[in-house]
């Protein structure tokens, strides 16, 4: 069974890895709130720049998380997330974009086959997803809020890996990280309507209505997994985190619980040289 493992370092840093991505020549991880230097409402591992936290703190947090994963901050490439479904093809000239210099793109998903570049996406309830094809050696990372989930950004990221690098879906491994679960993702009818618009009757198992025609509860992680299976990924190649960011605010940033004044988690993935 694909599973997540929690790693606790001596400096207090806590992060997760997913078994389908724990293979030679690949670094990856999902951050938590723990192990950074930020203070107050940003304590402690805030990896979101431009959220009101001090830039020096955020950069130190990046150094710590990158050191834990064994990747270089100078070669991180950050998503610029706008809740759409564009997939950016990342090349060597993008190294440092969004962290050490401005981005010239907007994209919720990133793909590359260049070793050493670290694809980085952010979340605080939204669903972080990471992808790896060990045969053609390409990787992807996608941020899926409810809009991205309805747009099928998971399937579009996989399609980009097939089209650009020749990846075959039966080889692709994926991880769906900590995010808001069905217990806490309570919505009006617009969110279920968007899921039905995208998936038709296939969306039904993931949409639950509360008692007396109340709010809906939507399982975004399961819908992202559904998109992956529909694209052709094998169930044994997909890990899904059970951690709900809105239930566990001592461990995770949650937009629903904290609002705009909060930090962000990051999910990172980086190809090394072939083992
Ligand atoms: Zn919850």
Q: What is the pTM for the complete model shown? A: 0.98
CA of 249 to the centre of ligand 1 (A): 10
CA of 241 to the centre of ligand 1 (A): 12
CA of 186 to the centre of ligand 1 (A): 10
With contact defined as beta carbons under 8 Å apart, do 176 and 238 qualify?
yes
Q: Quick one: pLDDT at residue 211?
A: 78
Beta strands 109-112 and 26-31 are: unpaired
CA of 57 to the centre of ligand 1 (A): 29
Across the 275 residues of the chain, what is the mean pLDDT of every consecutive 10-residue run?
97 98 95 98 96 97 98 98 97 97 97 98 98 98 98 98 98 98 97 98 96 90 98 98 98 96 97 86
114-134 as b/e: b if 16+ CB within 10 A: bebbbbbbbbbbbbbbbbbbb
CA of 216 to the centre of ligand 1 (A): 14
CA of 243 to the centre of ligand 1 (A): 8
CA of 206 to the centre of ligand 1 (A): 15
């Amino acid at each position: 069974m694909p599973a997540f493992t929690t790693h606790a370092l001596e400096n207090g840093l806590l992060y997760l890895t997913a078994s389908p991505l724990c293979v030679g020549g690949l670094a990856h991880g999902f951050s938590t709130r723990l192990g950074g230097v930020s203070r107050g409402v940003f304590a402690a591992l805030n990896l979101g720049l431009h959220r009101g936290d001090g830039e020096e703190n955020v950069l130190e947090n990046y150094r710590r998380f990158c050191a834990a994963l064994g990747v270089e901050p100078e070669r991180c490439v950050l998503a610029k997330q706008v809740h759409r479904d564009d997939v950016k093809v990342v090349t060597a000239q993008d190294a440092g974009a969004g962290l050490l210099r401005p981005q010239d793109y907007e994209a919720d998903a990133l793909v590359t086959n260049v070793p050493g570049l670290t694809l980085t996406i952010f979340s605080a309830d939204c669903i972080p997803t990471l992808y790896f094809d060990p045969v053609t050696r390409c990787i992807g990372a996608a941020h899926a809020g409810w809009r991205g989930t309805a747009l099928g950004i998971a399937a579009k990221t996989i399609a980009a890996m097939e089209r650009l690098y020749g990846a075959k879906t039966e080889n692709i491994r994926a991880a769906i990280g900590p995010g808001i679960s069905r217990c806490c993702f309570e919505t009006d009818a617009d969110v279920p309507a968007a899921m039905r618009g995208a998936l038709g009757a296939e969306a039904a198992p993931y949409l639950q209505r509360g008692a007396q025609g109340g709010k809906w509860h939507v399982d975004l992680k399961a819908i992202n997994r559904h998109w992956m299976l529909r694209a052709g990924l094998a169930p044994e190649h997909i890990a899904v985190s059970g951690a709900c960011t809105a239930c566990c605010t001592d461990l995770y940033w949650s937009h629903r619980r904290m609002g705009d004044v909060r930090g962000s988690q990051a999910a990172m993935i980086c190809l090394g040289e072939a083992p």
